Amino acid sequence: MRFLADMGISMRIVEWLRSINHDVVHLREQNLQTLPDNEIFDKAITEDRIILTFDLDFGEIIALSKGRQISVILFRLRNTTTSFVLKRLEKVITESAELLKMGHIIIVEEARYRIRKLPI
């Protein structure tokens, strides 16, 4: 899978994804730390990438996307330690890999994750 990691995503998560053969770009690696959310969204569409983010604004951006297909993994966690985020992400990828390719938003919480087909 191809991922685009937003600024809140740890480089250790990026490295872990790469270690299991995923294609991952982190905004920091491309010096795009200040890229506005709507441009992050456009970049992910252009590059056919799944967005990894903690930024709740992506829910609104997706709602206003006029049906443009993209998948987003949105973390809504109280425990944001890298090891916990990684564990939750691993569960999502393992159980829902096929859905990630089809235009969904996956909201990852402490004990569960919810999947919404796009457009909302």
**Mean pLDDT of all residues belonging to the chain:** 89
DSSP character for 88? H
Tell me the sheet residues that pair with 105: 72, 116
Look at 65 and 39; give whichever has higher pLDDT. 39
* Domain ranges (residues) in the chain: 2-117
- Residue 25 CB coordination number (10 Å): 17
Mean pLDDT over 92-112 rounds to 86
7-47 pLDDT, tens digit each:
999 999 999 999 999 999 999 999 998 899 889 988 998 99
Domain 2-117, CATH among 3.40.50, 2.30.30, 3.30.70, 3.90.1460: 3.40.50
**Residue 99: pLDDT band by 50, 70, 90 thresholds?**
confident
The whole-model pTM stands at 0.91
Query: So what's the pLDDT on residue 63?
Result: 63
What SS3 class is residue 59?
Answer: helix
Task: Residue 25: name the closest of 60, 7, 42, 37 by CA.
Answer: 7
